Amino acid sequence: MGLTQAKTICLAAFFTFLLSESRAGEKSYAFIVSGDCQYLAKNSAGPRALDPYSEQANSRFIRLMKEMPGKSIGKKFGGGKVSSDLLGLIIAGDLIDSLDKRGGNYPAMQQFEWKRFLRDYGLRGGDGRIPWPVYELHGNHDGPQGDTFIIKDIIARNRERPSLAGRSKNGLHYSWDWGPLHLVNLGIFVGSGEKKRKGHHYAPRASLDFLKKDLESRVGDSRRPVIMSFHLHPFSAEYDWPKEDLSEFWKTVSAYNVAAIFHGHTHGSPPSRTRWDGKKFSPALPEGIDIFNPDDSGAAKTDRKNPSKGVGLAHGFLYVELIDHPGGKEDTFIVRSYATRDNWKTHGWHSIWSKTINIPSGK
């Protein structure tokens, strides 16, 4: 069954029935996916604060994350409550705003922004203001060529990140397991080789090479469900994502049981889902791999043309749940979006997508 956005009472009732009927003996694996927090410091040679709208968005988002466990889910979105045992938070890149810029006040801004990210998010859960482990990757605002101090810090964090299953040779990309799920973080985009190709924007830092080896060795022919995250959307312009890399990426992942792909970069409020069959991208495709855009969590800033107002005030994130039903029942993969239009002043559930998924016996 393909993913369908819940728009009718009948469909919502189906999800409610599905969830209520399967609680006994089931196992749930739940986590959050966000993107593009883009911490932005005030433009200063010695910044001591974030841009006021960036501060507002990011501090409110962090507070909301702490409130998520146990939050009620309306019947329209399947009912129930957010898991009180969330496994972690995936962040799909653009952790700060300024590291794609040079000169002037930017070096000082970059350091301030990154320190603030580390203070808020921590790593293992509880060492920052986020109560669960954090699994971030880098985007173009963190260093288009994957060669900045943030990339070095992510590599260092990967040596301390909880329960990793694998790390790339360069230390930047990594994988881990949550129950039957195998998850892989792949940096800015999935491509071969360390450096960018002539005529293209970004360096893939050998993410495709790592993905191939990781899936072969850690998933193989087991049919375990796989989740992949990176920053750029795969339907981006060819100078961002080289067509030969995209073709090889599809060839690689189409052989596996891919539950979902998550990306950042486009913001695109509210969160959305499309589908990829190797040739086309469209939410209307009957078959293919589901690709989710979680929107951004905090990419707001003061409007330069009107300093009394902010821009980029619409945000979102995804609450993801895999339900392993007992016995021979088909398992369920559910993605719900949560969104705001006013910089997290008000917010609520927005959409739901669901599909059946097969978890191999004993996984």
Do the Cβ atoms of 335 and 292 come closer than 8 Å?
Answer: yes
Please write the tens of the pLDDT for every residue from 172-198. 999 999 999 999 999 999 999 999 999
Please write the tens of the pLDDT for every residue from 123-136. 999 999 999 999 99
The DSSP code sequence of 168-220 is -TTSS-EEEEETTEEEEE-SS---SSSSPPTT-S---TTHHHHHHHHHHHHTT
Packing angle, helices 207-218 and 243-253, rounded to 10? 10
Tokens coding 166: 């694998």
Distance CA 12, CA 285 (A): 22
pLDDT surpasses 70 at 2: no
Please write the tens of the pLDDT for every residue from 352-362. 999 999 999 76
At 361 the pLDDT is 77
How many residues are recorded in the chain?
363
- CATH architecture, range 9-357: 4-Layer Sandwich (3.60)
Distance CA 319, CA 315 (A): 14
With a CB cutoff of 8 Å and minimum separation 6, the contacts of 70 are 81, 82, 84
Q: Amino acid identity, residue 236?
A: S
Mark 167-181 as b/e (b = at least 16 C-beta within 10 Å): bbebbbbbbbbeebb
Please write the tens of the pLDDT for every residue from 195-235. 999 999 999 999 999 999 999 999 999 999 999 999 999 99
Please write the tens of the pLDDT for every residue from 283-314. 999 999 999 999 999 999 999 999 999 999 99
Distance CA 191, CA 206 (A): 6
pLDDT surpasses 90 at 138: yes
Do the Cβ atoms of 228 and 261 come closer than 8 Å?
Answer: yes
Distances (CA, A) of 353 to 33, 77, 261, 290, 337: 14, 9, 14, 10, 9
At 22 the pLDDT is 45
**228, 293, 289, 239: which is closest to 266 by C-alpha?**
293
Phi-psi region of 79 (alpha: psi -120 to 50; beta: other; left: phi over 0): left
Banded model confidence at residue 16, pLDDT cuts 50, 70, 90:
very low
Please write the tens of the pLDDT for every residue from 65-124. 999 999 999 999 999 999 999 999 999 999 999 999 999 999 999 999 999 999 999 999
Q: What are the boundaries of each domain within the chain?
A: 9-357
Do the Cβ atoms of 319 and 30 come closer than 8 Å?
Answer: yes
Share of the chain above pLDDT 70, in %: 93
The DSSP code sequence of 129-162 is SSSS-EEE---GGG-TTS-SHHHHHHHHHHTTST
pLDDT surpasses 70 at 363: no
**165, 153, 180, 239: which is closest to 26 by C-alpha?**
180
Cis peptide before 270 (omega within 30 of 0): yes
Please write the tens of the pLDDT for every residue from 140-158. 999 999 999 999 999 999 9
Distances (CA, A) of 37 to 12, 112, 249, 251, 295: 31, 14, 27, 31, 10
At 127 the pLDDT is 97
The DSSP code sequence of 216-266 is HHHTTTS--EEEEE-SS-TTS-TTTS-HHHHHHHHHHHTTSEEEEEE--SS
The DSSP code sequence of 273-331 is EEEE-SS-B-TT-SSSEEEEE---SS--EE-TTSTTSEE---EEEEEEEEEE-STTPPE
pLDDT surpasses 50 at 9: no
Please write the tens of the pLDDT for every residue from 248-283. 999 999 999 999 999 999 998 899 999 999 999 999
